Amino acid sequence: MDGIQLNFSPTSLAILNGILGFIMFGVALDMKLDDFKRIISLPKSVLIGVVAQFLLLPAFTFMLVYLINPRPSIGLGMILVAACPGGNISNFITHYAKGNTALSVTMSAISTLFAVVMTPFNISFWGSLHPGTAGILKTVALNPMDLFWTILVLLALPMVLGIYISEKHPTIANRVKKGMKLFSLTFFAVFVLAALAANWNYFLEYIGVIFFIILLHNAVALGTGFTAATLLGIDKRDRKAVTIEVGIQNSGLGLVLIFNFFNGLGGMAIIAAGWGIWHIIAGLMIAYFWSRKEDETGEVAASD
């Protein structure tokens, strides 16, 4: 698996970069500067989420890599996914789970900005500590500053532009944001499915190897968010938001970085793609459980 290079052309890479920037722009149309100011009213919850996202999860992922000792490309793929900010669908899943959606949006905005620095740092730092993954980093001669500029262009700039339009031209933002979100996410899903079809033989051959790893890794991510939020005593709605935000990673960014900097290295790409599918399924399952539990509690309270 470490020697596999997935079928992915330079044109496909350019399209994927564009899609990710477009998705981020569409998400930012739904944001306001108040989302950043909200950190003042929710400092504890936001701080817990950011620490769990960028410090605890990469550290626990590194320990998991040492514990299960997968192939180096799989291990580095796990570290890279853990280094990414929260995924764009986390806000919807938090809302469905009846968590604090405002906190989720705030964490998404803050973590996207932090990712410009923390994602390159975590990939380089944790990846260099493991002998196997360090060998890959040396082979590709990864420059953290190159990662920094790529993430800045793909995440931060589209977000700034989207927030600017949202603040200065709210009528335009409200008119186009729903359609833009739907179009970009659908386009991204079709693109991923097409890439999967082009590499279907590899997927079938190795899905059995990586499925349990993805399942375990995602459980660690969700557990990290939930445990940190529980131990530090934030309320139930905030706890849901933190859990989902840490457990839903921006695997689209992960794929872009893998194809930009690691030439589509098989183990890394399959991990990121598998995460992109599974974390949505796991997130929706948890959200369904929490929403049903909330409904049942509400019904009991109403009957009492």
Of residues 222, 220, 223, 213, the one with CA closest to residue 270 = 213
pLDDT at 291 over 70: yes
pLDDT at 78 over 90: yes
Domain boundaries, the chain: 10-293
Report the distance separating Cα 59 and Cα 43, nearest Å: 23
Report the distance separating Cα 44 and Cα 52, nearest Å: 12
Hey, how many other C-beta atoms are within 10 angstroms of the C-beta on 146? 13
Query: Domain 10-293 is in which class?
Result: mainly alpha
* C-alpha pair distances (Å), 80 with each of 40, 83, 128, 157, 302: 30, 5, 12, 21, 46
Query: Contact at 8 Å (CB) between 283 and 94?
Result: no
Q: Which residues pair with 249 in a beta bridge?
A: 86
Query: Tokens 């796990």, residue?
Result: 78
- In this predicted model, which residue has the larger pLDDT, 14 or 256? 256
Percent of the chain with pLDDT over 90: 27
pLDDT at 304 over 60: no
Q: What is the pLDDT of residues 272-286, one digit of tens each?
A: 888 878 888 898 899
| Band (12; pLDDT cuts 50, 70, 90) | low
pLDDT at 88 over 80: no
pLDDT at 63 over 90: yes
- In this predicted model, which residue has the larger pLDDT, 164 or 221? 221
Provide the mean pLDDT of the chain: 82
pLDDT at 298 over 60: no
Per DSSP, the three-state class of 41 is coil
Per DSSP, the three-state class of 5 is strand
* C-alpha pair distances (Å), 304 with each of 36, 161, 293, 296: 40, 50, 16, 12
Of residues 211, 213, 247, 210, the one with CA closest to residue 228 = 247
